[in-house]
Amino acid sequence: MDDLRDRIADDRSGIENRLARLIPGYQGYKELKTRRDADRLLRELLVQRLDVIRTRLREMIITLTNNGLLELLRAVDALERRLETVTDAFHYADYGYSGKTDPIKITPEILDRLYEYDEGLLEKVERLEESGERLGTADADPVSVKDVLLAFDAELKRFAAVARDRSKVLGGIEL
């Protein structure tokens, strides 16, 4: 995947470049904004991919209902809620702003580490997607459905644990 930070910086207009030369501090402000925008776009991509998995879970509810496997609906519902929590964490994540009196200053280096961490999460979501694809292939056998749900649950828990550590990067804590 291309580095979104470079693509956003390349899209700057001529007037922005002139402002950067004329107004002290403007270029630094734009560089931080570029870093934040790139990370926001990356997180939006993560949310989209997680929403596709969530749709599979909803489709599985229909399949289970049609096959009379109502006893498994509670497990699917719990997985959907957990996935929703993880998705919302990215959707509403902090953009990396800090005020003058904040104890932890958000520097360009922290924003770069945050972007790289989120980029790594994008790679990890692929494993979750693979596990999510199996949700649609589970047949009407309750044992195989349970196995698929347990495997997905384990993968989702691993992904959620890594996603929770994102706040440590933003706080400047080394992982």
Are the CB atoms for 59 and 136 separated by under 8 Å? yes
Specify if 94 maps to a domain: yes
Can you give the pTM of this predicted structure?
A: 0.74
Residue 100 neighbours by CB distance under 10 Å = 5
The predicted structure's pLDDT at residue 175: 43
* pLDDT tens-digit profile, the chain (175 residues): 556 555 555 555 566 666 566 666 656 666 777 777 877 888 899 999 999 999 999 998 888 888 888 899 999 999 999 999 999 988 887 665 444 555 556 677 777 787 788 888 888 899 999 988 888 776 677 888 899 999 999 999 999 988 888 777 766 554 4
Specify if 126 maps to a domain: yes
Specify if 37 maps to a domain: no
Q: How many domains does the chain have?
A: 1
Specify if 1 maps to a domain: no
The predicted structure's pLDDT at residue 9: 54
The predicted structure's pLDDT at residue 157: 94
The predicted structure's pLDDT at residue 50: 94
The predicted structure's pLDDT at residue 36: 76
The predicted structure's pLDDT at residue 21: 63
Assign residue 172 a region (left: φ > 0; alpha: ψ between -120 and 50; beta: otherwise).
Answer: left
The predicted structure's pLDDT at residue 98: 47
Three-state secondary structure call for residue 13: coil
Specify if 28 maps to a domain: no
How big is the CA angle at 101 (ends 100 and 104), to the nearest 5 degrees? 90
Residue numbers of the domain that contains 71:
47-170
Specify if 23 maps to a domain: no
Specify if 67 maps to a domain: yes
CA pair distance 55, 63, nearest whole angstrom: 12
